[in-house]
A and B are shown apart, each in its own frame.
Chain A
Amino acid sequence: MLRRLRGMLVKEFIQVFRDTRTRTLLFAPPIIQMLIFGYAATLEVRHIPVAALDYDNSQVSRELLSRFTASPYFDVRAYLNDRREIGDLIDRGEVTVALQINGGFAQDLRKGQPARLQVIVDSSNSNTALVAVGYINQIAARYAQEFQRTQLLRTSLFASSQIPSIVLERRPLFNINFDSQWFFVPGVIGNLILVMVVSLTAFAIVREREIGTLEQIMVTPIGRLEFILGKTLPFFLIGLFDTALVSLVGTFWFGVPFRGSIGVLAIGSILFILCMLGIGLFISTISRTQQQAMVSGFFFNMPAITFSGFGTPISSMPEWLQTLTYLNPLRYFLEILRGVYLKGVGLDVLWPQMVGMGLLGSIMLAISVARFQKSLD
């Protein structure tokens, strides 16, 4: 029994580590992807390109526009003279937003009548458009408030202290600077491990089917469990090693704080990798070729990432979808990663997630092992 398992493991490790290219493939892409995703995966909207069209050409209108030039969220790229230019700029994607101030803007404001600022926005990316409109709203509202305040003070009807206002007092916990990288980097760790472990496992077994060694192994007295253990144990270890590797990049390169315990992260990672081994094994039982395995892997990976809370918050999903996310191991693992990294919480808080992954992992492994038959029927 042990001799057979050892035989499998020796063979697997030789195969994985013999080829320089395979060896590099196991460790370089996770790091590179971590670096790329760490920088690119963000919901922040900055440097929105803007065109300004000022028909009023007053001191007031120029002051309002200068608020946009000064903002880190907007880049005023063009000052236009004719509204017909707007359509073309937006069509070609040179600007996302066009601000149009009509004649009489300053006058209306002084008379206390509603002054209109027209905002034309390319909403093909609805998220960016919404965020941009929100920022414009803030800038305009603040400008209006200040304008009102100066007017009121000038007329001396009120002392400055009598003008009512609400002041926001923000107390952000865990991520004081609202740094979106802090939110995304732990998520990227989860995604990378998911893709790596699922595809490595599925491909390794399907490849044996393709080259005919699986049929050969079926006619040996090796047990199902011995074969599966021999096949998955190396990827379990590689998965664990990769988790450590990309976590180090997250901490030391991106400076995401690691506030919790390594032990809790290790337990979470082990349970998560077991789930992914189960999925990879399952895919290998339904695929005859590596191509089929690739497509099946894709059908698992995409929804798993989309419905994990990696980008879209789970709370914004329809209720029935929210329920379904409880079947997604990545959901639990992301909660654990973010909990351990940012909040520094331990097992007392994260145990339900651990139990969730443990259950899912056991079920998936059991199904896959049962489906994996030593026969060609």
Chain B
Amino acid sequence: MPPSVATSDLTKRFPGITAVNRLTFEVHAGEIFGLVGPDGAGKTTTLRMLAGVLSPDGGSATVAGADIAREPEAAKARLSYMPQRFGLYEDLTVAENIRFYADVFGVSREEREARARQLLDAAGMSPFTTRSAGKLSGGMKQKLGLVCALIHRPLVILLDEPTNGVDPVSRRDFWRILYSLLNEGIAILMSTSYLDEAERCHRVALLHQGRMLYCETPVELKRRLHGAVVSIVGHEARRIRAALGGAAGVLNALLVGDGVHLVVDDAGRRIPELQAALQTAGLVFDRLEEIEPTIEDLFVAATSKERKP
């Protein structure tokens, strides 16, 4: 069976930057494939090219057997694309939104009703069909988007950070629906910047500045991080990083939103040392603890060899 999505040297340039640089990968039916990387890695651009709304500057790609450059409309009929916020009409009701997307995809009324019932049930949204989409919670909106995106039984689903800012209950429904689709032989390609989401994928590709660093299973990806991550929360993040960046056992130091993440060889041994070092330097901090690694930590670990020759 041919792959559901196949790209070969796929490239997209914007003025001054190569957003996607010679990307080559395959996604098979029944597989969830994750594009993982920080903001600006080229995840959204890749998905948009595969969805047929951006044209590639180089390379090629097929989606559900259709070449995206030569027959984008054929590809569009067989795929479904969910941007970070699905385009819902907030002044239309849940049922009217579903009907609109069904009509646009040429789904017959009987098919629509059967499919909508099944999807709305799975999403736990059956009681809300007459509610206007604007009055739904964020998680419900995203689930409605998924229902609309699946109404025409696509063969390939492209999801751009689909559960960003979605409540845990809706998130669980969301994933249940996605897993149930895999049995129908659908291929799912999603982007994410969350590690827990990446772990739900069968395989992930780690992107950095438009290029693919690794393409492997999440377990393999995690193994690339040797050691543990220590988070220090505090205001003087820059000075803390400067003070501890070269300390013994610290492999990497990364500035994050609320402080610093340090990759250390052995958390149990290094934490007291770090605390002592901060006290000596006279630097205040709110919290210092070992945490589960984030995508950024993984990413820094994966790219540090490149950057530190």
B103 and A211 form a contact (CB under 8 A): no
B86, closest chain A residue (CB): A216
- Asked whether A18 is an interface residue with its Cβ less than 8 Å from the other chain, the reply is yes
A215 and B106 form a contact (CB under 8 A): no
How many Å from the CB of B92 to the closest CB on chain A? 6
- Asked whether B217 is an interface residue with its Cβ less than 8 Å from the other chain, the reply is no
B77, closest chain A residue (CB): A221
B55 and A377 form a contact (CB under 8 A): yes
A211 and B96 form a contact (CB under 8 A): no
Which of B51, B91, B102, B104 contacts A18 (CB under 8 A)? B91
User: How many chain-A residues does the 8 Å CB contact rule pick out?
Assistant: 28
How many Å from the CB of A195 to the closest CB on chain B? 24
Residues of chain B lying within 8 A (CB to CB) of residue A19: 91
Identify the 9 closest CB pairs spanning chains A and B, nearest first. A7-B103, A216-B87, A213-B87, A219-B81, A212-B87, A221-B77, A220-B104, A219-B51, A11-B100
Residues of chain B lying within 8 A (CB to CB) of residue A375: 52-55
- Asked whether A57 is an interface residue with its Cβ less than 8 Å from the other chain, the reply is no
Binary interface profile of A, 14-40, with partner B (CB < 8 Å = 1, else 0)? 110011000000000000000000000
Residues of chain B lying within 8 A (CB to CB) of residue A220: 76, 101, 104-105
Known: A221-B73, A375-B55. A15 touches B87 (CB 8 A): no
Which of B53, B85, B96 contacts A218 (CB under 8 A)? B53
Residues of chain A lying within 8 A (CB to CB) of residue B48: 376
Residues of chain A lying within 8 A (CB to CB) of residue B81: 216, 219
B53 and A376 form a contact (CB under 8 A): yes
- Asked whether B79 is an interface residue with its Cβ less than 8 Å from the other chain, the reply is yes
The count of A-to-B residue pairs whose CB atoms sit within 8 angstroms is 79
Which of A6, A18, A374, A377 contacts B103 (CB under 8 A)? A6
- Asked whether A222 is an interface residue with its Cβ less than 8 Å from the other chain, the reply is yes
A10 and B100 form a contact (CB under 8 A): yes
A-B contacts, 5 of them at CB < 8 A, read: A4-B103, A10-B100, A15-B89, A219-B51, A377-B55
- Asked whether B90 is an interface residue with its Cβ less than 8 Å from the other chain, the reply is yes
- Asked whether A3 is an interface residue with its Cβ less than 8 Å from the other chain, the reply is yes
B104 and A8 form a contact (CB under 8 A): yes
Which of A11, A208, A216 contacts B83 (CB under 8 A)? A216
- Asked whether B261 is an interface residue with its Cβ less than 8 Å from the other chain, the reply is no
- Asked whether B99 is an interface residue with its Cβ less than 8 Å from the other chain, the reply is yes
How many Å from the CB of B209 to the closest CB on chain A? 21
Extra contacts, 12 of them, besides A7-B100, A15-B89, A212-B85 (Cβ < 8 A), are A4-B103, A4-B104, A4-B106, A8-B103, A10-B100, A208-B87, A214-B87, A216-B81, A216-B83, A218-B53, A375-B52, A375-B53
For chain A, what secondary structure do more than half of its interface residues adopt (helix, strand, loop), or is it mixed?
helix
Q: Which residues of chain B from 81 to 129 have any CB-CB distance to chain A below 8 Å in the complex?
A: 81, 83, 85-92, 96, 99-106
- Asked whether A152 is an interface residue with its Cβ less than 8 Å from the other chain, the reply is no
Q: How far is the CA of A375 from the CA of B68 in the complex (A)?
A: 12
Q: How far is the CA of A216 from the CA of B76 in the complex (A)?
A: 11
Residues of chain A lying within 8 A (CB to CB) of residue B55: 375, 377
Binary interface profile of B, 201-215, with partner A (CB < 8 Å = 1, else 0)? 000000000000000
Q: How far is the CA of A7 from the CA of B80 in the complex (A)?
A: 18
Known: A220-B76, A375-B55. A7 touches B104 (CB 8 A): yes
Residues of chain A lying within 8 A (CB to CB) of residue B80: 219
Known: A219-B53, A222-B104, A375-B55. A11 touches B92 (CB 8 A): yes
A19, closest chain B residue (CB): B91
How many Å from the CB of B227 to the closest CB on chain A? 41
Q: How far is the CA of A318 from the CA of B53 in the complex (A)?
A: 47
Q: How far is the CA of A6 from the CA of B88 in the complex (A)?
A: 18
Known: A212-B85, A216-B87. A221 touches B105 (CB 8 A): yes
Residues of chain B lying within 8 A (CB to CB) of residue A208: 87
Residues of chain B lying within 8 A (CB to CB) of residue A221: 73, 76-77, 104-106
A222, closest chain B residue (CB): B104
A10 and B91 form a contact (CB under 8 A): no
A211 and B87 form a contact (CB under 8 A): yes
Residues of chain B lying within 8 A (CB to CB) of residue A218: 52-53
How many Å from the CB of A225 to the closest CB on chain B? 13
Q: How far is the CA of A336 from the CA of B289 in the complex (A)?
A: 80
Residues of chain A lying within 8 A (CB to CB) of residue B85: 212
Which of A7, A18, A213 contacts B99 (CB under 8 A)? A7
Max count, chain B CB within 10 A of own CB: residue among A3, A4, A6: A3
Q: How far is the CA of A214 from the CA of B48 in the complex (A)?
A: 13
How many Å from the CB of B141 to the closest CB on chain A? 11
Residues of chain B lying within 8 A (CB to CB) of residue A219: 51-53, 76, 79-81
A215 and B87 form a contact (CB under 8 A): yes
A377 and B87 form a contact (CB under 8 A): no
B103 and A10 form a contact (CB under 8 A): yes
Max count, chain B CB within 10 A of own CB: residue among A4, A7, A19, A217: A7
Known: A7-B100, A375-B53. A211 touches B90 (CB 8 A): yes
Q: Which residues of chain B from 54 to 80 have any CB-CB distance to chain A below 8 Å in the complex?
A: 54-55, 73, 76-77, 79-80
How many Å from the CB of A227 to the closest CB on chain B? 9
Q: How far is the CA of A18 from the CA of B51 in the complex (A)?
A: 32
Which of B79, B89, B106 contacts A213 (CB under 8 A)? B89
Q: How far is the CA of A284 from the CA of B194 in the complex (A)?
A: 37
Known: A217-B104, A219-B51. A11 touches B76 (CB 8 A): no
Binary interface profile of A, 216-253, with partner B (CB < 8 Å = 1, else 0)? 11111110000000000000000000000000000000
Residues of chain B lying within 8 A (CB to CB) of residue A7: 99-100, 102-104
Which of B83, B88, B103 contacts A215 (CB under 8 A)? B83
B91 and A15 form a contact (CB under 8 A): yes
Known: A7-B103, A14-B96. A376 touches B76 (CB 8 A): no
Residues of chain B lying within 8 A (CB to CB) of residue A18: 91
A11 and B96 form a contact (CB under 8 A): yes
Residues of chain A lying within 8 A (CB to CB) of residue B53: 215, 218-219, 374-376
Q: How far is the CA of A14 from the CA of B83 in the complex (A)?
A: 25
A3 and B89 form a contact (CB under 8 A): no
Q: How far is the CA of A314 from the CA of B242 in the complex (A)?
A: 74
Q: How far is the CA of A214 from the CA of B54 in the complex (A)?
A: 14
Residues of chain A lying within 8 A (CB to CB) of residue B51: 219
